[in-house]
């Protein structure tokens, strides 16, 4: 594991994974800012694909269950990043797998908190989250969908915490505090 000395990174790659609504993107952006690292987001890459296709993120997820091209495109981007760049943070459900030379962080959250976070910060393209209950259903469906898809394609469970170096619970914690906790743990000997 790479350490920080005087807030300067030396060949540091941090992959942030976790459940939907755990704060992956928010925490990854804060960590990148605090440590002066680049930030990438597979969620942003997916939203770009969905927007180009004129569909929602949920619809793209359903397509990805049946058609491998979505995951293959995302996989290639991550593998290339891991090979061509250093000193970045990426929020990606499978970043730990495709960028093995990283500090692997998993953010845990309870279902109710996840749904509340997603519902309260609805993106314009996520029209399917019209109520909190519907959002909870969608979170459960998304976790199940991703578990099945990743098991089928990669023979792994991205929610298996044994694969991570650092696990942080985010329920009841603002992203600022979570980012501080992750940085603290990265810097521990």
Please check whether residue 2 lies inside any domain of the structure. no
Please check whether residue 7 lies inside any domain of the structure. no
C-beta separation of 93 from 178 below 8 A: no
The count of domains in the chain is 1
Structure token digits, residue 32: 């990148």
Specify the pLDDT at position 57: 82
Specify the pLDDT at position 1: 40
Please check whether residue 33 lies inside any domain of the structure. yes
- In degrees, rounded to 5, the angle at the alpha carbon of residue 170 between the alpha carbons of residues 180 and 93 is 95
Please check whether residue 4 lies inside any domain of the structure. no
Please check whether residue 8 lies inside any domain of the structure. no
The tens place of each residue's pLDDT in the chain, 189 residues long, gives 444 444 444 579 999 999 999 999 999 999 999 999 999 999 889 989 999 999 988 789 889 888 999 999 999 999 999 999 999 999 999 999 999 999 999 999 999 999 999 888 865 445 555 788 988 998 999 899 889 889 988 999 999 999 999 999 999 999 999 999 999 999 987
Distance of alpha carbon 110 from its chain centroid, rounded?
16
Specify the pLDDT at position 123: 54
Specify the pLDDT at position 53: 93
Q: Which domain holds residue 80?
A: 13-187
105-to-14, 33, 160, 173 alpha-carbon distances in Å: 7, 17, 12, 16
Element holding 62 (H helix, E strand): helix 57-66
Please check whether residue 1 lies inside any domain of the structure. no
Specify the pLDDT at position 146: 87
Please check whether residue 170 lies inside any domain of the structure. yes
pTM: 0.85
Q: Find the CATH number of the domain harbouring 17.
A: 3.40.50.300
Please check whether residue 35 lies inside any domain of the structure. yes
């Amino acid at each position: 594991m790479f350490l920080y000395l005087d807030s300067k990174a030396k060949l540091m790659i941090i992959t942030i994974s976790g459940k939907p609504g755990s704060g992956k993107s928010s925490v990854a952006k804060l960590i990148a800012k605090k440590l002066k690292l680049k930030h990438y987001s597979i969620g942003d890459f997916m939203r770009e694909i969905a927007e180009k296709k004129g569909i929602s993120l949920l619809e793209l997820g359903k397509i990805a269950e049946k058609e491998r091209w979505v995951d293959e495109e995302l996989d290639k981007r991550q593998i290339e990043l891991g090979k061509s760049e250093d000193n970045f943070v990426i929020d990606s459900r499978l970043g730990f797998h495709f960028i093995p030379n990283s500090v692997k962080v998993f953010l845990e959250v309870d279902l109710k908190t996840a749904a509340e976070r997603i519902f309260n910060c609805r993106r314009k393209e996520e029209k399917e989250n019209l109520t909190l209950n519907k959002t909870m259903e969608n979170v459960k469906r998304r976790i199940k969908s991703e578990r099945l898809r990743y098991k089928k394609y990669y023979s792994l469970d991205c929610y298996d915490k044994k694969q991570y170096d650092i696990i942080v619970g985010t329920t009841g914690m603002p992203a600022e505090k979570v980012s501080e906790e992750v940085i603290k743990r990265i810097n521990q000997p």
